């Protein structure tokens, strides 16, 4: 937990509140780090870059957690930090948007012909996904890839649950049209 060593350097002037903040952020890290890494990997094509994004997100969360009035919203807050950092990385052109390896399941080996078909299909879906508006793409990835509820997506993106439904519906319609799936 690199983020922990960074905030430990600031520990000399800590209060009891800082200890409780650290405990909260550690708990969130334990629960969400893997999911956030998958999210960052989906938006970037570099595992170490995705790890850096997640670490930076936790450093920022720790530094801002005292401003979060409802601790249940801290997970949504760190998710939005990861999304923003990944967008920033891509905007600066430091990482490509190829994404193929982000969705590969390495637990069970597949026959080569199935691997080729799956890889081509994933590449097609990821290309279509990258052509959606950022809000539609974010909603679809959070809702269906991370399997968050509409309420959790809404909290992460700071929009209403009805907006999440609308963006998901429109995004799925656009994906279907781009992929040639009949409505």
CATH number for the domain that contains residue 181: 1.10.10.10
Q: Is 70 exceeded by the pLDDT of residue 11? A: no
Locate tokens 């550690």: which residue?
26
- Total number of domains in the chain: 2
Q: Last residue of some domain: 74, 99, 124?
A: 99
CATH number for the domain that contains residue 37: 1.10.1740
Q: Please provide the average confidence, as pLDDT, over all residues in the chain.
A: 79
- 7 and 92 together in one domain: yes
- 137 and 183 together in one domain: yes
In a domain, 66, yes or no: yes
Q: Average pLDDT of 19-46?
A: 86
pLDDT score at 95 = 38
pLDDT score at 144 = 87
Q: Is 50 exceeded by the pLDDT of residue 97? A: no
pTM equals 0.65
The more confidently predicted of residues 81 and 93 is: 81
Helix ranges (DSSP H) in the chain: 2-8, 16-43, 47-64, 74-91, 112-130, 134-140, 150-157, 161-179
Handedness of CA 78, 80, 82, 85 (dihedral sign): negative
Find the domain containing 47 and state its range.
1-99
- 66 and 11 together in one domain: yes
pLDDT score at 96 = 42
- 1 and 89 together in one domain: yes
Q: Last residue of some domain: 44, 73, 99?
A: 99
- 50 and 82 together in one domain: yes
Q: What is the pLDDT of residues 48-89, one digit of tens each?
A: 888 999 999 998 998 888 888 888 888 999 999 999 998 887
Q: Average pLDDT of 153-161?
A: 93
Residue 159: pLDDT band by 50, 70, 90 thresholds?
very high
In a domain, 105, yes or no: no
Q: Last residue of some domain: 77, 99, 121?
A: 99
Q: What is the pLDDT of residues 112-137, one digit of tens each?
A: 656 555 566 777 888 888 889 999 99
pLDDT score at 19 = 76
């Amino acid at each position: 937990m690199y983020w922990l060593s960074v905030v430990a350097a600031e520990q000399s002037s800590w209060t009891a509140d800082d200890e409780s903040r650290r405990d909260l952020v550690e708990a969130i890290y334990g629960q969400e780090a893997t999911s956030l890494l998958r999210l960052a990997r989906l938006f970037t094509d570099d595992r170490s870059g995705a790890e850096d994004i997640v670490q930076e997100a936790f450093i920022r969360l720790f530094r801002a957690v005292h401003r979060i009035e409802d601790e249940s919203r801290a997970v949504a807050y760190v998710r939005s930090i990861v999304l923003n950092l990944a967008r920033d990385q891509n905007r600066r052109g430091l990482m490509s948007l190829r994404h193929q390896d982000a969705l590969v399941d390495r637990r069970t080996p597949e026959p080569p012909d199935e691997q080729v078909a799956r890889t081509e299909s994933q590449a097609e879906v990821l290309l279509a996904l990258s052509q959606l508006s950022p809000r539609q793409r974010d909603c679809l990835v959070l809702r269906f890839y991370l399997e968050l509820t509409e309420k959790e997506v809404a909290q992460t993106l700071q929009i209403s649950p009805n907006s999440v439904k609308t963006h998901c519906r429109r995004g799925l319609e656009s994906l279907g049209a781009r992929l040639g799936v009949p409505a």
